[in-house]
Amino acid sequence: MRPIPNDLDWSATAAWIALAISITGTIVGPIITTILTNRYQLKLRKLDIQEKAASEKISVIQQCISHIGACLADTQSESLMSFGEHFHVVYAYVPSEHWPLLDDFYQLTIKYKYDEAKKLQPDVIHLLSGLLKEELPKHP
Q: Measured at the alpha carbon of residue 99, what is the angle toward residues 98 and 101, in degrees to the nearest 5?
A: 70
pLDDT digits (tens, 9 = 90+) for 95-140: 999 999 999 999 998 888 889 999 999 999 999 999 988 877 665 5
- Cα dihedral sign for 132, 137, 139, 140? positive
Share of the chain above pLDDT 90, in %: 51
Instruction: Answer whether 0.85 is exceeded by the pTM.
Output: no
